[in-house]
Amino acid sequence: MSEMQGKVVVVTGASSGIGWSTALKFAQEGAVVVVAARSEAKLQELAALIREQGGQVTVCPTDLMKDEDMENLVQSTLDQRGRLDVLVNAAGIIGSGTIENTTREAWDTMMQLNTRSPFYLMQLAMPALIESQGNVVNVSSVTGVRSFPGVLTYCVSKAALDQLTRCAALDVASKGVRINAINPGVVVTNLHKQAGMDDEAYSKFLEHSKTTHPLGRVGTPEEAAELIYFLASPRAGWITGVTYELDGGRAQTCAR
């Protein structure tokens, strides 16, 4: 029997990329997965795949710009599944902008989705996580560790998420709840395309990224999902407050 058999896992951003692969991984390991994102159609597609593989899944369309949607995600999970063992905050957005041209609206949206929503979901889920002795894994970024030009708000939002992870981990460590984060480098997902990058530009970006990651390649959503799964598993039972770099060595390099 898998170490995650019967555990209830909420995954945001599950309609694509790291969130999609993470939900699949937990379901394949026997967890009951609650998948959340704005696109119900994509969530239903994922749910059908999980069910084809014999997994258990609940679909919960969620707009992380709305507090009531986040409240419903946690409450409906508890109402339908009776417990909550793991929260994976995988949803996020990226956008370009500098200190000179970033609008307050763009700032507020980025901070809401990348930082405030993980904060509020952790807060909402905490009583259940304390009861289950569960844990949280946040999906941050190498930009939380290192500074990059032209993506000001994204960098700030992820650095804030890293510090949120560390501070919250200390707050609840004595209650048996662990909170960690992963900091991926460039991973092949829809993140940049959703921010407006077309196929040609994205292809060039991925090719260039091979030169900015010392291991000479970009990452895959499945690699991120494996680390998230490990951090959520009992095998990581003595790990908390960690922001774990998963970036082919990129955080160790100077700008180029």
Residues annotated as catalytic (active site), given as ranges: 154
Residue 180 has a CB neighbour count (10 Å cut-off) of 24
Residue 5 has a CB neighbour count (10 Å cut-off) of 10
CA pair distance 208, 223, nearest whole angstrom: 20
CA pair distance 256, 254, nearest whole angstrom: 6
Non-local CB neighbours of 206 within 8 Å, separated by 6+ positions: 186, 188, 218
CA pair distance 101, 154, nearest whole angstrom: 14
CA pair distance 3, 159, nearest whole angstrom: 31
Closest by Cα among 141, 153, 176 to 247: 141
CA pair distance 9, 54, nearest whole angstrom: 16
